[in-house]
Amino acid sequence: MTVMLPMRSQARHAGRLRDAAMFGDCQDVRWSVVVPVFNERDFLPRTLLSLARQAERFRLIVVDNGSTDGCIATARKLAIEHGIDAIFLDEPRPGQVHALKRGIAAASADFIAVCDADTWYPPHYLERAGHVFDARGRGCVAVAACHPSVDRGLRKRLTILHRMVVSRLLPRQNHTSGGCHTFRLSALRAAGAYDARLWPYVLKDHELMNRVLRLGTQAYDPALWCVPSARRRDRSGVRWTLGERLLYHVTPYRWQRGLFHRFLAPRFAARGLRDTALRAQPWREAA
């Protein structure tokens, strides 16, 4: 697949990998892509290569959240080699929520995609999301992707069908992972974006969407999907219980803010499910 991003010399790209203070000279780019990273040497290269093949121009914002495995150095090299317009930021406070806040603050395009460092995004990902935003109009503030465990076959089709059905039945709830979300940047910021002062726990994508959807609607599209790594099959350490999940789905939207902050927050705190729980990497220990 031909890289659709403008190719520049290696020296010029090296100059583009700069601090956010020099950010913001690409006014015609519609997309910012934020990738928070903590020790992702086994997965990040594939993610970046999939982003390099996007049919839509974008600016990549990689936020290093204290990596020690050399993945950021590798990412810088890949950005140069594949012509990715990228900046690299450091966020020393541990927790994905802090890294995302840092990256979103550095964004300047109309739309922003939050991408996981261990997920493969098909070449049409940003382009398709942009088409959905355009078709739905200004009232659409978020476009979400499905995340099947495979990129073809019956399992993929069934996963997408399930997401489409539940999103129609419960349009003001979140039905996908945080790495599958795209937003109008203005709406995301108006809602408070990711912020540990607002929600320092896991499942922050669900709480965030509750705030974002006070400003407009979201859309799912069967052609918009991405594939997470196999390690996502075991998320038992950071999930809510079956009862908590069912309560989320049956609670009317106008009461869900109270559900998150008065009911779920103390339960998550008691179980140690702060956002930093996502930094655990049991697959490394098992290898």
SS3 letters for 91-117? CCCCCHHHHHHHHHHHCCCCEEEECCC
Strand segments (E) across 8-120:
31-37, 58-64, 86-90, 111-114, 119-120
Return d(Cα 227, Cα 180) in angstroms, integer: 9
Q: What is the pLDDT of residues 31-71, one digit of tens each?
A: 999 999 999 999 999 999 999 999 999 999 999 999 999 99
Q: Tell me the pLDDT band of 252, cut-offs 50, 70 and 90.
A: very high
263/1: higher pLDDT: 263
Q: Which residue has the tokens 């929520």?
A: 97
Q: By percentage, how much of the chain surpasses pLDDT 70?
A: 86
**Angle formed at CA 95 by CA 246 and CA 271, multiple of 5 degrees:** 45
Tell me the domain boundaries of the chain.
Answer: 10-233
**First-to-final CA distance of the chain:** 32
pLDDT at 113: 98
Q: What is the pLDDT of residues 219-236, one digit of tens each?
A: 999 999 999 998 766 666
Whole-structure pTM value:
0.88
Judged by DSSP in three states, 253 sits in helix
Q: Evaluate if residue 20 carries a pLDDT over 60.
A: no
CATH no. for 10-233? 3.90.550.10
pLDDT at 5: 36
Q: Tell me the pLDDT band of 9, cut-offs 50, 70 and 90.
A: very low
Q: What is the pLDDT of residues 112-147, one digit of tens each?
A: 999 999 999 999 999 999 999 999 999 999 999 999
Q: Evaluate if residue 260 carries a pLDDT over 90.
A: yes
Rounded to the nearest integer, the mean pLDDT of the chain is 90
Q: Evaluate if residue 157 carries a pLDDT over 60.
A: yes
Residues 6+ apart with CB under 8 A from 256: 173, 210, 248
Structure tokens given for 32 = 């910012």
Residue type, position 122, single letter: P
Q: What is the pLDDT of residues 62-93, one digit of tens each?
A: 999 999 999 999 999 999 999 999 999 999 99
